[in-house]
Structures are given as structure tokens and as C-alpha cells.
Structure 1
Amino acid sequence: MLALDDAGQRIIRHGTSYVLEAAEERVDAFRFRAICAQANSTSHGGEFERAIGLLRDALSLWRGPAIQDITSPTLNAEKSAWEEAKLRAVERLVTLEFARGHHSVMIPDLHAWARQYPYHEKLHCHLAEALHIGSRTAESLQVLARLRATLRDELGIDAGQEVHELESRLTGRPGELTAPVDVPVNLQAVEALQRALTETTRALQLLQILTG
């Protein structure tokens, strides 16, 4: 039945076995790669909304881990490469959405990605930042606390500098790796500083997109 399909695929004999030959546009992985390349080109041209749509189309092609349920030392490197490509697309999408001020829109996606990648500090920081900007700072701090506990309990390591700095910014305490000490703070000044830092972050992200 596959051999009768004239839409870019065929079955051929290869030694004592058979091989399915398929055009790249029939393979999700290759379609994903092509759409991501188109999204990068589009964003460099300043069409950010179109690039966002393309990246969402590319990520929608994923229905589980790459090369799932296949045990093959030969394919392990390929599996890692495709997973890294997916993460790059996710991070690019978050950068574009945040630069457009769409933090709240990204919260459901970021929750899902944080569950999928429980050790990925940057994704958890993105989720915490989006929650904070949506006036959900308590939930934001819980995200970072769970991440630190997961890294400590399951991997025996401490969270990185980015996590500590974001946690310090959200609590209004000076950034440091040791346990923070409660000090009197001017809440209005802290909130004004947090708003300024958020706007600066958006501007830097947009500049990064424009300069490639």
C-alpha cells in the first residue's frame, strides 16, 4: 500500500530488507527544521508576528520525544541534536513573545515546558518572570523554589547565578548566593526598580532580535 503512494514516498529493496524512501516534506523532523529556518529569516527581517506563528507551527509538529521507543546507539546523537533544536526553537519563541510584551500568553506554554524539562533553569526563569509581570509574584517565587529543590534533591547541585539573581530581584533583596537576610526595604522603590528592569529586559531582547 505504501508503494502505491505517489505523494513523495516509495518502498525499495535494500539487500535482504526494505527501505522506505520519503520526500523531506513528508517527514515532520525535516519540516520542523525548514520552518525554523524560515522563522529565523523572517524575524531578522523584522516580521516578528509572522516568525512567532512559524515557530508555533514548527513546535506543533512535535508529539513526544525525538526517536521515541527506538534503542539505537547510532541514533542517540541524532536524538540529542533534534531535542537541542527543539529547545532552541522554544527559547526563540519565548524571546520573541516577551519582546512583544506577550508574557501572560506564554504562561500555559511555559508551565508545560517546565514540566517537560524539570532541570532547565532558563525555562523556569522565563516562567517565573511571566508570572511576576502578571502580578503573580508569589507563584513566581514558588516556581524558583521548586526548581532549586529539584536540582538539590535529584541532582545534588545548586541553582545557577541566573536563578539567584531573579529570585533576588523578585524579593527586592541584594543578589547573593548565600541565604538572604531580611532588611527593611522601600516597597515603592523596589516596585519602581522592578518595572524599570522589566522594560530594560524587553528592550535588550528586542535589540537582540534586530541584530540577530
Structure 2
Amino acid sequence: MIERLWAAEVPQHPRQALYTYAARLRQALDVGGSRTRDSPLVRRPGGYLFDIERDSVDLFRFRNLSRSAKSAAYRGDNTMAVHLFDDALALWHGDPLSDLDRGWAEGARISIRREYRAVIVGRAEASLCVGRHEEHLPALHQLAADYPEDERIAGLLMLSLYRSGRQGEALACFSNIRSRLIRQLGDEPGSMLQILHSQVLRRDPGLSHIDGLPVAN
């Protein structure tokens, strides 16, 4: 625990510093100042434990809602899936653990960002299935900027743009990812994305059907 907190910058008396931090944290958690119940921060062999209900932690609620949303989408109830995905995203407030710069915190951030990306993608897919193709465009644009070589994200963005009457932007999206893949990996986009590009180019009527998602997986 000391290594996680301070890494190579361990104070002169690390155990005493740790006890001081724990005491301050207990005071901060005692919001009402009543001390009518035990602190949720308890000692355990080798460290401390937050003894709290899982539903009081945003990350756990985010994960539960995400699982429920994916189950709803699997059952074909995409309206409910969109609602649950929205509830999950409402719990997201900036980059997780942004005030910590230790290696373990960065590892946790990467993992949680991956979960966030999956929720954005799932929400976009469910929205497309119920004809709500414009409202998730800002989030997809941001994901495409953050993950410029992700063909699944590019496909969802292309389809959403096309269904929003923005064929030119959909074609530009394909051109951007194709150029990047050729430049970075020396390879063309996958067959699914190329098929979608061809469909957008010829204004395939099938792209307007909301009962399917002809995009790369």
C-alpha cells in the first residue's frame, strides 16, 4: 500500500504518514460530524478496506447498468437498452482517478476507459436499431478521434452520419480511416467496412432499415 501511494517518493516515516491519511479520510467521510456509526474505512491485515454498499459506488452501478443494457439489447429490447445505457453514462464524470499519477492508477484508467468505450458503442448500436441515429453522433465523433483505427467505431459513425442525411461526411469518415490504416499498418480496412462504404456510395436502400447493423465487428 505504501508503494502504491508514494512509489519512489516514500516519506521518512511512511507508516505514520499512512495512519495520518487514514485518520483524515475518516474525518472527511464523517460528513455530518455525528459519528453515530462506525467509519466505512476499516483496518485489515496488510491495509485498509472501504466497507460500503456496492450500489453507493458509481463504478459498480455503471457496470451493473451496462450489463443490464447489454442483456436488453441481446433480447431485442433496444429501447430499454438505450435507456439503461443512458443511465450508465449519466454516472460518468470525467477521466477516472485523474488526480493520481501512479502506474497502478493508469492501469485502472485504461481498463475503465475500455468499459466506457464499450458502453458508448453499445448505446450507438441500440440507438440505430430504434431509429435514433443522430443523438449519439457527438460521442461517436469523440471516440473516432480517440481510437482512429477502430473499424467498428468508424462503421457506426459512417452509418449514423448516412442515416442523418450526411452522406459526404460518412464517405469522408471512411477515407480518413482507410488512409490511416494504410499509413500506419500498410493494410486496407476490413471487408465489412469496405462493403459499408460501397453501400453508402451507391445509397443502398438497405442502409435505411433499422432492423440490422451492417457495420464491422
Q: Tell whether the structures are fold-level matches, with TM greater than 0.5.
A: yes
Q: CA deviation at 1:154?
A: 4.3
Alpha-carbon distance change, 42 to 164 in structure 1, aligned in 2, over 3 angstroms: closer
2:54 equivalent in structure 1:
24
1:203 equivalent in structure 2:
211
Counterpart Cα distance in 2 of 1:8 and 1:108: 45
Q: Which of 61, 80, 87 is the equivalent residue of 1:50?
A: 80
Q: CA deviation at 1:156?
A: 4.7
Question: Greater CA radius of gyration, 1 or 2?
Answer: 2
Higher relative contact order (CA 8 A, sep 6+): 1
User: Retained in 2: the 8 A contact 1:104–1:131?
Assistant: yes
User: Identity rate of aligned residues, in percent?
Assistant: 23
1:4 equivalent in structure 2:
30
Deviates further, 110-119 or 131-140? 110-119
Counterpart Cα distance in 1 of 2:61 and 2:128: 25
Counterpart Cα distance in 2 of 1:120 and 1:159: 10
User: Retained in 1: the 8 A contact 2:42–2:51?
Assistant: yes
Q: CA deviation at 1:80?
A: 4.9
Counterpart Cα distance in 2 of 1:52 and 1:8: 39
Q: Which runs of 5+ in 1 are unaligned?
A: 173-190, 206-212
Aligned pairs for 1:29-108 (under 5 A) are 29-43=59-73, 47-68=77-98, 69-72=100-103, 76=107, 79-108=109-138
Q: CA deviation at 1:120?
A: 1.6
- TM-score, scaled to structure 1: 0.69
Alpha-carbon distance change, 57 to 70 in structure 1, aligned in 2, over 3 angstroms: farther
Counterpart Cα distance in 2 of 1:62 and 1:166: 32
Q: Which runs of 5+ in 2 are unaligned?
A: 1-26
Alpha-carbon distance change, 148 to 65 in structure 1, aligned in 2, over 3 angstroms: farther
> Does structure 1 residue 134 correspond to structure 2 residue 144?
no
Aligned residues: 182
The amino acid that maps onto 1:71 is: R
- TM-score, scaled to structure 2: 0.67
Q: What is the DSSP-based 3-state SS (H/G/I as helix, E as strand, rest coil) of the residue aligned with 2:189?
A: coil
CA-based RMSD of the aligned residues comes to 3.2
> Does structure 1 residue 147 correspond to structure 2 residue 157?
no
Counterpart Cα distance in 2 of 1:7 and 1:43: 42
The amino acid that maps onto 2:87 is: D
User: Retained in 2: the 8 A contact 1:32–1:59?
Assistant: yes
User: Retained in 2: the 8 A contact 1:4–1:10?
Assistant: no
